[in-house]
Structure 1
């Protein structure tokens, strides 16, 4: 069986680091990863020598496809035709005298897990951790990736650092988000095809840190908090923006505690604005492959002095395809 590859040359405009002409995949792409299955097209990109033709091959499961992409501004990028759930596949990018290879690649649904401390709580910290870690070996098709806790004042195209590269459980799972893992495991039990889980969250962060400047501007939120991961857009810049060029199925979110003491009165504007902006940005960054209304599930505490603004958000009919737990 053969599929065609559609070559796309544009990336989300942002600062690009490490464009040194060495052929390689972007930092998100590693062995054991999950790429988004059909009907969406998975996007794969990386770096290479300027002007060179990169030969790109996807092989496995009685499938082999070959295509080429031109390195422009230090970047090459391909968009696959839809691939059904399954694997494993090998993904190879090559130029003259240089080859980069990804092995054990699966196709399934890719979910982003974001927010603050309750999403960041790792599996080792839950009450039945040893039992869950033991069970994890029975889920080799649920793969995990974790972004590092990094801030940036400017939007990054690639991750500055990766905390946990794509892994097969139970490897590195003790330090992975418990909520994210349990969500993905249960999803796999229902769907019975590969699930990719991307953890990008940070304890003690506000919604403003995860929002782009354009989303904050919609709500008139220009005032900066004083320190660290609470500063406007720093987590968006370093921990979300690098994912925009990839295709995802959806996102889950657990945040809100820190906004009980910071811009609480604006949360009914800032949170919907963030969701809308993420959807638009992921859709555009993936060349239209991530759905413009991708599923966005969230969990938040209902403290007495926070209920009104959350209630207003929960009952907003225009925020479509969201689910509250």
Structure 2
């Protein structure tokens, strides 16, 4: 791509030449050429990432000369043989009420641009969950003063298996007002609002999420090399004939179910999910993430995992690969990636039990502990027994913002990590557990400490006694003289787990084998 800064006289002469040449050429050949277009994400009221080089891109005629006019300077580029063009502008500091023009055979103008911090909000339905769906819990959010510098762009849902696409299918920017904020991602809104109130920097959220999606929906075909079943399916889906065959098979499956269940109106979710192309590998990555590759971001916020909880093994490996893929895509190798550990759900267990959700949380914890520039916001105390979409998105959004304050905004003395088991020592049947990230101290919400289970060599877990003293927890049970394993908050719904630090961050679930 050509990118040249001209002096003002040259700008004027060149622009006139380009416009006249294009006009005369159209008259001569008697047909209209392709007009210059901007990528869909470039629109009025957008937020562009500050303090990083700015990429402006779109399509035009083959080899067409393009000019971007910004702040009385003009930057030139040229479309390639496929009509794609990209022009780079210098980085900008925080600003609002900016505009720019793109000139080719036609002229486009974008108004009310803000330069601030842009975050990509990804994942499944708990990220996509709209603010208006939690108004019943947070009624004051309906009476907001305007937040014109908090803006939201929802990427239109679309999948594609043929490969990474050049542009998203649709979407538009909205500024936060009483009549619009209800359409924002609830988690992203509380995250952005918290940061804006603290720093007064424009915040842009690009929300690209789809309910019920597993992680591999958001990965490229190459990044699935260590997951051969998913990669093999993705290669098959690139064949139109295979997709047509698959659609036919899925339709027959659903029709067979309806014949067997004539009195039931609704097909079970599991069957609907399995027989939908939407949730197959690479589809949403190709259509909803890859087209944003030339964007720059302050960070990513991510809420996903429920759809992988049925088979949590290797989630950490897959999620780590996803983070690496996105960082490579955006050419930001240290892009902060802040994610939510899945919330508590369903009825709590009467006795300690195995849990796929607990295993998935452990996989997420592993990623937080091993991948640089990541942070995990716990949600084990924000969920609801009978609602996989809990309403308390405020606590989740603000815990993500706490991480951003440290990783992005330079509050390096601020602890953003939930208490995490550090070491465990066994002495006369008592297990003494120390924690990291206690901040100013640990506390118990309520009079008695709950959530701990203990087992001997047989791994038959029972609820344990536990007490907190001097930021250490002592765990024991009179019937187990030689404990071998200890767990905390290890359940699909560990709602009784009540160990926190003084910041109100819940202790991280764990399952450890004890060493003597």
Of 49, 52, 55, the match for 1:43: 55
Of 120, 138, 147, the match for 1:139: 147
Larger radius of gyration: 2
- Unaligned runs of 5+ residues in structure 2 are 7-32, 234-273, 345-354, 378-516
| Counterpart check, 1:273 vs 2:296 | no
| Counterpart check, 1:299 vs 2:340 | yes
Query: Aligned pair in 2 of structure 1 residues 175, 228: CA closer, same or farther (>3 Å)?
Result: farther
Please name the residue that 2:303 is paired with. Answer: 254
Query: Aligned pair in 2 of structure 1 residues 199, 312: CA closer, same or farther (>3 Å)?
Result: closer
- Structure number with the bigger relative contact order (C-alpha 8 A, sep ≥ 6) is 1
Please name the residue that 2:219 is paired with. Answer: 211
Shift in Å at residue 111 of structure 1? 0.2
| Counterpart check, 1:196 vs 2:185 | no
| Counterpart check, 1:55 vs 2:67 | yes
CA contact under 8 A between 2:312 and 2:363: conserved in structure 1? Answer: no
Q: What pairs with 1:164-175 in structure 2 (closer than 5 Å)?
A: 165-170=172-177, 171-175=179-183
CA contact under 8 A between 2:312 and 2:356: conserved in structure 1? Answer: no
| Counterpart check, 1:111 vs 2:119 | yes
In structure 2, distance between residues paired with 1:50 and 1:260: 48
TM-score by length of 2: 0.54
CA contact under 8 A between 2:150 and 2:176: conserved in structure 1? Answer: yes
In structure 2, distance between residues paired with 1:134 and 1:233: 40
Q: Report Cα offsets for 1:258-304 as digits up to 9, x if no partner.
A: 1112x421212111111111111111xxxxxxx21101001122663
CA contact under 8 A between 2:54 and 2:88: conserved in structure 1? Answer: yes
In structure 1, distance between residues paired with 2:343 and 2:96: 42
SS in 1 for 2:108: strand
Shift in Å at residue 130 of structure 1? 4.4
In structure 1, distance between residues paired with 2:364 and 2:126: 20
Shift in Å at residue 228 of structure 1? 3.0
In structure 2, distance between residues paired with 1:282 and 1:183: 22
In structure 2, distance between residues paired with 1:118 and 1:299: 10
| Counterpart check, 1:324 vs 2:341 | no
In structure 1, distance between residues paired with 2:327 and 2:341: 20
Query: Aligned pair in 2 of structure 1 residues 5, 89: CA closer, same or farther (>3 Å)?
Result: farther
CA contact under 8 A between 2:120 and 2:301: conserved in structure 1? Answer: yes
Aligned length: 292
Shift in Å at residue 144 of structure 1? 0.8
Shift in Å at residue 128 of structure 1? 3.8
Of 40, 44, 49, the match for 1:31: 44
Shift in Å at residue 209 of structure 1? 0.8
| Counterpart check, 1:161 vs 2:170 | yes
In structure 2, distance between residues paired with 1:214 and 1:306: 28
- Unaligned runs of 5+ residues in structure 1 are 7-19, 284-290
Q: What pairs with 1:78-157 in structure 2 (closer than 5 Å)?
A: 78-96=87-105, 98-126=106-134, 127-128=136-137, 130-135=139-144, 137-154=145-162, 155-157=164-166
In structure 1, distance between residues paired with 2:209 and 2:103: 34
